[in-house]
C-alpha cells in the first residue's frame, strides 16, 4: 500500500481522555477513531490488524475441529428468559423493543442463541461432539467504557461453544480449546500466561483466562517461578503459613485498650508500636442485603471475589458508614469480631487466623481496641476460608516454589460450563441406549480487537508501536528518501513492486515529506521491519534495514536482496519467537 494513497490520518495530539498507551498510539497512528463513548471505527490500518488476529484465531479453531458460523447480533428476549439471564444479566445487556414492541437485546455473548440452535437440530449421540464458533461484533453497555479498544462497548470477539455427550467428552473439548488458545497466542507473538480463573457470571465448573503480560494490565496474576502454576489473583490460593504467636491458644484474657484516633491499621500500629501482622482487620459487607464481617490479618488484603464465592453470593458491597455504625455501635474504624450488634451477622475469617491468637482488634466502641483476642475462645466464627490475596512472600500452592505477581490483560477465557445452559434450555440427545441425556457444554472467548490493544500495551516505546509481525497491518515499512530525485523514486518503486511480488505486505511511504517525518511515522505506526532506501546507502548499493523491536540496524545488499532480506526476516521473526512465515 502506498502511504500517499492510504487513509492513515495520524495525529500530533490526542484527546486527554486517552489514558493508556495503546489508546493514545491507536489514535495517533490513525488506526481507530471514536464515534461515541466506547464505540470505535476501525480505519484501514486498524482493521488490518484486527483481521490478522481474526485469521489466526480462525485457522487454529478450524485446525481444532471447530466450525465457523455467524449468529445474529440482535437476540430475542425469550431465549434469555429461559436461562434467567434476561432478569439477572444487569445493565451491560442493552435491551430494546422493535417496531412491533417485542423485547430484544444486543448480544454480549451467545450461549442462549447457540444452545437454541443446537437443541433444534441435534438429536443423537452420533451427532456429538460439536464445536461452533464465530468471529463477530459484540455489544456490552459498560458503565465506564475506557482505554480505547481495551474496554469498549462494541468490540470484535471470537466465541466458540462446544457440546458433548458427557463430562469426559466436555473435558476433551475444553483441553482442545485450551491447546488451540495456546497455539493462537504463541502465533501472535505475545508473551502470555494461561491462568486459573474465577468463573464469574458465565458460571460453570472451571475456567482459565489467557493473559497478555503487560505492566499496564488491570489484572494481577500469580505465577510460580518453579512450576507451571499461574492463577488470577482473584482465584490464586493463599497457603496457610506456619508462623504463630507461640502461646498455643493460651493468651491472657482479652481486654480493652484505649486507642484514641487510631482508625486505620497504620495508625494503630504507630500508636501501639506493633506490626500489622498482629492486628486483626474486620471488614463489614452488605452481602445480598445481609450483614457479613470478614476478618483478615492487618498486613493482608481481603479478596472480595473469594468472599463472594465462599458465600455463593450475587452481590457483595462494602457496608456504608451508616451500616457500620448501626452494626458496631461505634464510628468507622473500630469494628471488631467481639460484640457486634447486627442480629444474625455472619463472621467469616481467613483460615490463617485459626492458627494464631493474641490478636489486636476493634472493640466496637469509639477510640477503643481489644488485645489478646483469641477467635476460638472469644468469638463465634461461622467459617474459616481462604479470603486473602496471595503475595510474593507466599509459596506456590502447587509446588511450594516462589510466587511472582505480574500484571496482565485478559484476552481469552475458556469455561467448562457443564449443564448450566443445556439443562435450562433442555438441550438433550438420545444416547446409545436411547435414553435422553443433557448435553455438556463449554464456551471459549477471545477478545479479537482487545488483542490489538494489548499487543501495543506489551510492545511499545516512546516513539510508538512495536507490532509483532503476525499482528502488524503490514510486515514492512518501506521508506523512500527520493525527495525530488526521480532515479531514487524509481528504485523505491521497483523495490516496492519486488517485495509485493515476493508476497511481502508493504506499507510504502512514497509521500513528499521530509525524511524526519517519515522516520517518525514509521516508528509510530510500528511495522516490525523498516527498509530505508536513498541517500548514501543507495549509492553504495545497499538499503538500510531496521528491526523496530530492537532498533538494530543492518545493511542489505541490493545485488543480493532476496537472500539478504529473507535472512534478515528470519532474524526479526525469531526475535519475536515466531517461525518462518
Q: Which of 17, 81, 84, 91 binds a second copy (CB under 8 A)?
A: 91
Alpha-carbon separation of residue 131 from 170, 215, 483 (angstroms): 10, 35, 55
Question: Is there binding between residue 144 and a second copy (CB under 8 A)?
Answer: no
Report the distance separating Cα 349 and Cα 240, nearest Å.
Answer: 12
Question: Is there binding between residue 88 and a second copy (CB under 8 A)?
Answer: no
Paired residues of 162 in beta bridges: 131, 442
Q: Which of 68, 237, 513, 555 binds a second copy (CB under 8 A)?
A: 68
Stretch near a second copy under the rule CB under 8 A, chosen from 31-39, 266-274, 341-349, 558-566: 31-39
Question: Is there binding between residue 500 and a second copy (CB under 8 A)?
Answer: no
Closest separation in Å from C-beta 518 to a second copy: 17
Nine cell digits for residue 462: 516512546
Question: Is there binding between residue 72 and a second copy (CB under 8 A)?
Answer: yes
Question: Is there binding between residue 39 and a second copy (CB under 8 A)?
Answer: yes
Task: Enumerate residues 146-185 that contact a second copy by CB under 8 A.
Answer: 153-154
Among residues 9 and 261, whose Cβ is nearest to a second copy? Answer: 9
Question: Is there binding between residue 67 and a second copy (CB under 8 A)?
Answer: yes
Question: Is there binding between residue 94 and a second copy (CB under 8 A)?
Answer: yes
Report the distance separating Cα 54 and Cα 44, nearest Å.
Answer: 15
Which residues does 283 contact at the CB level (< 8 Å), separation at least 6? 293, 294, 295, 296, 302, 318, 335
Q: Are 170 and 162 in contact (CB under 8 A)?
A: yes
Stretch near a second copy under the rule CB under 8 A, chosen from 135-143, 227-235, 298-306, 516-524: 135-143
Question: Is there binding between residue 16 and a second copy (CB under 8 A)?
Answer: no
Question: Is there binding between residue 201 and a second copy (CB under 8 A)?
Answer: no
Question: Is there binding between residue 73 and a second copy (CB under 8 A)?
Answer: yes
b/e 400-424 (16+ beta carbons within 10 angstroms → b)? eeebeebbbbbbbbbbbbbbbbbeb
Closest separation in Å from C-beta 46 to a second copy: 8
Question: Is there binding between residue 443 and a second copy (CB under 8 A)?
Answer: no
Question: Is there binding between residue 63 and a second copy (CB under 8 A)?
Answer: no
Closest separation in Å from C-beta 477 to a second copy: 18
Instruction: Sort 485 into a burial class: Cβ within 10 Å, 0-12 / 13-18 / 19+.
Output: middle
Question: Is there binding between residue 511 and a second copy (CB under 8 A)?
Answer: no
Question: Is there binding between residue 50 and a second copy (CB under 8 A)?
Answer: yes
Nine cell digits for residue 271: 500508636
Question: Is there binding between residue 70 and a second copy (CB under 8 A)?
Answer: yes
Q: What is the largest CA-CA distance in the chain?
A: 94
Phi, psi angle pair for 24, to nearest 5° = -60, -45
Question: Is there binding between residue 124 and a second copy (CB under 8 A)?
Answer: no
Among residues 118 and 296, whose Cβ is nearest to a second copy? Answer: 118
Which residues does 126 contact at the CB level (< 8 Å), separation at least 6? none
Q: Strand 506-509 to strand 476-480: parallel, antiparallel, or no bridges (unpaired)?
A: parallel
Q: Are 177 and 382 in contact (CB under 8 A)?
A: no
Interface contacts to a second copy, rule CB under 8 A: 5-7, 9, 33, 35-36, 39-44, 47, 50, 65, 67-76, 91, 94, 96-99, 106, 113, 116-117, 120-122, 130, 132, 137, 139, 141, 143, 153-154
Amino acid at each position: 500500500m502506498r502511504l500517499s494513497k492510504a487513509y492513515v490520518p495520524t495525529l500530533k495530539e490526542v484527546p486527554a481522555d486517552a489514558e493508556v498507551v495503546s489508546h493514545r498510539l491507536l489514535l495517533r497512528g490513525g488506526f481507530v477513531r471514536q464515534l461515541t463513548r466506547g464505540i470505535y471505527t476501525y480505519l484501514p490500518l486498524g482493521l488490518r490488524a484486527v483481521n490478522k488476529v481474526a485469521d489466526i484465531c480462525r485457522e487454529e479453531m478450524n485446525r481444532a475441529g471447530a466450525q465457523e458460523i455467524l449468529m445474529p447480533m440482535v437476540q430475542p428476549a425469550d431465549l434469555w428468559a429461559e436461562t434467567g439471564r434476561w432478569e439477572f444479566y444487569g445493565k451491560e445487556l442493552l435491551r430494546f423493543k422493535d417496531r412491533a414492541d417485542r423485547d430484544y437485546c444486543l448480544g454480549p455473548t451467545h450461549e442462549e442463541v447457540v444452545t437454541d440452535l443446537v437443541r433444534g437440530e441435534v438429536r443423537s449421540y452420533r451427532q456429538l461432539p460439536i464445536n461452533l464458533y464465530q468471529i463477530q461484533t459484540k455489544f456490552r453497555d459498560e458503565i465506564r467504557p475506557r482505554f480505547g479498544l481495551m474496554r469498549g462497548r462494541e468490540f470484535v470477539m471470537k466465541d466458540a461453544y462446544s457440546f458433548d455427550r458427557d463430562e469426559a467428552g466436555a473435558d476433551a473439548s475444553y483441553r482442545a480449546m485450551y491447546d488451540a488458545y495456546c497455539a493462537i497466542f504463541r502465533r501472535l507473538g505475545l508473551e502470555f500466561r494461561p491462568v486459573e480463573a474465577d468463573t464469574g457470571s458465565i458460571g460453570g465448573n472451571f475456567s482459565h483466562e489467557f493473559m497478555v503480560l503487560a505492566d499496564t494490565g488491570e489484572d494481577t496474576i500469580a505465577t510460580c517461578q518453579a512450576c507451571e502454576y499461574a492463577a488470577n489473583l482473584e482465584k490464586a490460593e493463599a497457603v496457610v503459613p506456619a508462623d504463630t504467636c507461640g502461646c498455643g491458644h493460651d493468651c491472657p484474657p482479652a481486654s480493652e485498650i484505649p486507642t484514641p484516633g487510631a482508625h486505620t491499621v497504620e495508625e494503630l500500629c504507630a500508636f501501639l508500636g506493633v506490626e500489622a501482622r498482629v492486628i486483626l482487620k474486620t471488614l463489614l459487607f452488605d452481602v445480598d442485603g445481609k450483614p457479613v464481617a470478614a476478618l483478615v490479618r492487618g498486613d493482608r488484603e481481603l479478596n472480595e471475589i473469594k468472599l463472594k464465592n465462599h458465600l455463593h453470593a450475587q452481590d457483595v458491597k462494602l457496608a456504608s458508614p451508616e451500616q457500620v455504625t448501626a452494626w458496631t455501635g461505634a464510628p468507622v474504624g473500630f469494628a471488631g469480631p467481639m460484640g457486634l450488634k447486627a442480629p444474625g451477622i455472619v463472621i467469616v475469617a481467613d483460615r490463617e487466623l485459626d492458627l494464631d491468637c493474641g490478636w489486636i482488634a476493634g472493640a466496637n466502641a469509639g477510640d477503643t481496641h481489644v488485645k489478646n483476642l483469641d477467635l476460638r475462645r472469644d468469638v463465634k466464627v461461622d467459617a474459616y476460608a481462604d479470603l486473602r490475596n496471595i503475595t510474593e512472600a507466599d509459596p506456590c500452592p502447587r509446588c511450594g516454589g516462589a510466587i511472582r505477581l505480574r500484571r496482565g490483560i485478559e484476552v481469552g477465557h475458556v469455561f467448562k460450563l457443564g449443564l448450566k445452559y443445556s439443562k435450562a434450555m433442555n438441550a438433550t440427545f438420545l444416547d446409545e441406549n436411547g435414553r435422553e441425556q443433557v448435553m455438556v457444554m463449554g464456551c471459549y472467548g477471545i477478545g479479537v480487537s482487545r488483542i490489538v490493544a494489548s499487543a501495543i500495551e506489551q510492545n511499545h516505546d516512546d516513539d510508538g508501536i512495536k507490532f509483532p509481525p503476525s499482528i502488524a497491518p503490514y510486515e514492512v515499512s518501506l521508506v523512500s528518501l527520493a525527495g525530488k530525485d526521480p532515479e531514487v523514486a524509481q528504485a523505491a518503486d521497483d523495490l516496492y513492486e519486488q517485495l509485493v511480488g515476493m508476497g511481502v505486505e508493504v506499507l510504502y511511504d512514497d509521500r513528499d515529506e521530509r525524511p524526519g517525518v517519515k522516520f517518525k511515522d514509521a516508528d509510530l505506526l510500528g511495522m516490525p521491519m523498516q527498509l530505508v532506501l536513498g541517500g548514501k546507502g543507495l549509492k553504495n548499493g545497499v538499503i538500510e534495514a531496521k528491526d523496530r523491536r530492537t532498533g538494530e540496524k543492518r545493511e542489505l545488499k541490493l545485488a543480493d536482496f532476496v537472500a539478504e532480506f529473507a535472512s534478515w526476516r528470519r532474524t526479526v521473526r525469531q526475535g519475536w519467537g515466531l517461525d518462518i512465515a
